[in-house]
Structure 1
Amino acid sequence: MSRGESNKGDKASGRQGGTFRKKSYARGNAPIKKNTAPKQVSDPNSIRLNKYVANSGVCSRRDADIYISAGNVTVNGKPVTEMGYKVKLSDEVRFDGQLLNPVKKEYVLLNKPKDFSTTIRDEKGKRHVSGLISSASKSKLLPVDKMDKEDTGLLLFTNDGDLTKRLKSPINGLRKIYHVVLDKDLRNADLVKIQEGVVVDEKVVKVQDISFIDDAPKREVGIEIYSSRNKIVNRLFEQLGYTIARMDRVVYGGLTKKDLPRGHWRYLTEQEVINFKMIK
């Protein structure tokens, strides 16, 4: 074999000058590697740990990552610091020892129209307020308090059981303002009695304010009250011989009907939620 033929053979086999020349894959000539790793099957019952913590209301998802990396979060009794870690809804997750609930807390305000019930739907199929906010959440949201079917106005819905419990019986009361239409004109003497305090079921009902509605008949009044007693406004007027023909709740806590037409709903803002959670 001639020397020229030998060099050709060496080049063809990748050998040059007695050494092997490595092939370059810089131009995309690398062999295709088959991915033999099994694909991770998505579990519909699992959720990222940071989202789990955030949904519980402890903090934002970004802050949750910080707490997780610091070891503040445990899953089934063991600290987890791995980012992107997924947990099952059946797992026990704690933050600084406190058991967490992964259901995201939601808060919806409805301007309730007339002829909608706030009690559990019965067999007769009465229209229920839950149908008016059905598109607001996939979670089951319940009204914080009850309103008569004929009553209208502000009604708060949430799945936050702790907040509902506080709002139903706050120590300092919850501010509510009603526009009340009576079956007859309210006498000035009875208006004064209400201002001074009327006894209902052996307990004085104190109102913050009551006044006639401007440019309206004397049977229309506005009343501000902090009591959480059941149907206390109705019972207050009944004690003085009046029947409420219509009642509209125009203020609930710090919430108003501004830009919220009858039958429509909106989510509470972050600040509004914070304000409610400060109520004891």
Structure 2
Amino acid sequence: MSNTLERLQKVIAQSGVTSRRKAEKLIIDGKVKVNGKLVTELGTKVSASDKIVVNNIPLEKEVPVYYMLYKPRGYISSVKDDKGRKVVTELLQGVNERVFPIGRLDYDTSGILLLTNDGEFANLLMHPKYEVDKVYVAKIKGIPGKNELNQLRKGVKSDNDILKAVKYNVLSSDKEKNTMIIELTLQEGKNKHVRRMMAGLGFPVMKLKRERYGTLTLDGLKPGTYRALTPKEVKQMRNLAMEIVE
């Protein structure tokens, strides 16, 4: 944060503690102090020199960082796991900031996973209304026909959800092995979205990879490696989300 004044809820969100919306609730609920004084006004602005305490814990003002990881299969999209499974943050050797994943990829799913300590940025990309494109490539068991594939855009019912793909593209099919490789573009990110959607049609996913997230691709990365996003890439992702909203 610079020396200019920023809204208190924005500063809390950027620290990675929580989203801006939840930060606003913390302020209203009397859980935030600035320079030792309780603050409950949402319009309050603070500077870099102000001391902020949230839930009796001093706010650590880290410089916002943004990373893209090529998540391999066999890792949990979390910072810790009570079952002792490997977590994605273990792959970020040399990253000292307390970063967390933006959304998640399943244990058996590989591909692009973003990590940051900027809660506001994370909330912007994860919120359903922002509809940032995410492109997956799935290998499925069985070869669906045109009517079944078109159902992907109409929606597949699974539990209490209607799961959709914005578009699909069949990359290849193997009649001998009874498999198909299909590219799916999603704008939502419900739990196990692709796997549940395809299972709902009767074509279970055998292998799944997220190859594109907004303007970002896996070019130059191998499974288990990562890189920092450039300022231009961060701006593009932020602008992409905001343009969709507008």
Fold-level similarity (TM above 0.5)? yes
Does 1:119 pair with 2:119? no
Equivalent in the alignment of 2:56: none
Answer whether contact 1:111 1:257 (CA < 8 A) is retained: yes
What is the letter of the counterpart of residue 265 of structure 1? Y
Answer whether contact 2:78 2:100 (CA < 8 A) is retained: no
Q: Separation in 2 of the partners of 1:223 and 1:245?
A: 15
Does 1:154 pair with 2:112? yes
Q: Separation in 2 of the partners of 1:146 and 1:203?
A: 18
Structure 2 residue matching 1:134: 3-state secondary structure: coil
What is the letter of the counterpart of residue 236 of structure 1? M
Which of 248, 251, 267 pairs up with 2:212?
A: 251
The count of corresponding residues between Structure 1 and Structure 2 is 195
Q: Separation in 2 of the partners of 1:172 and 1:162?
A: 13
1:181-232 deviations in Å (ceiling 9; x for gaps): 1122233331122233334445543422112114766521111111132222
Which of 145, 148, 155 pairs up with 1:197?
A: 155
Answer whether contact 2:67 2:227 (CA < 8 A) is retained: yes
Equivalent in the alignment of 1:176: 134
Q: Separation in 1 of the partners of 2:174 and 2:218?
A: 20
Equivalent in the alignment of 2:67: 108
Answer whether contact 1:169 1:228 (CA < 8 A) is retained: no
Answer whether contact 2:76 2:88 (CA < 8 A) is retained: yes
Which of 151, 154, 165 pairs up with 2:123?
A: 165
1:70-103 deviations in Å (ceiling 9; x for gaps): xxxxx96xxxxxxxxxxxx88438xxxxxx9731
Does 1:141 pair with 2:102? no
What is the letter of the counterpart of residue 109 of structure 1? M
Answer whether contact 2:135 2:213 (CA < 8 A) is retained: yes
What is the letter of the counterpart of residue 76 of structure 2? S
Q: Separation in 2 of the partners of 1:145 and 1:209?
A: 21
Q: Separation in 2 of the partners of 1:195 and 1:144?
A: 25
Q: How much does 1:244 deviate?
A: 1.1
Which of 223, 232, 235 pairs up with 2:193?
A: 232
| Structural RMSD (CA) | 3.2
Equivalent in the alignment of 1:92: 51
Answer whether contact 1:185 1:220 (CA < 8 A) is retained: no
Answer whether contact 1:174 1:228 (CA < 8 A) is retained: no
Equivalent in the alignment of 1:65: none
Structure 1 runs of 4+ with >6 Å offset: none
Gaps (5+ residues) in structure 1?
A: 1-48, 59-74, 77-88, 94-99
TM-score by length of 1: 0.61
1:12-52 deviations in Å (ceiling 9; x for gaps): xxxxxxxxxxxxxxxxxxxxxxxxxxxxxxxxxxxxx86xx
What is the letter of the counterpart of residue 73 of structure 2? K
**Following superposition of structure 1 onto structure 2, how do residues 44-83 of structure 1 map, counting pairs within 5 Å?**
none
Answer whether contact 2:140 2:206 (CA < 8 A) is retained: yes
Q: Separation in 2 of the partners of 1:207 and 1:265?
A: 27
* RCO comparison, higher one (Cα < 8 Å, 6+): 2
Q: Separation in 1 of the partners of 2:157 and 2:209?
A: 23
- Indicate how the Cα distance of structure 1 residues 249 and 216 shifts in structure 2: closer, same or farther if over 3 A, else same: farther
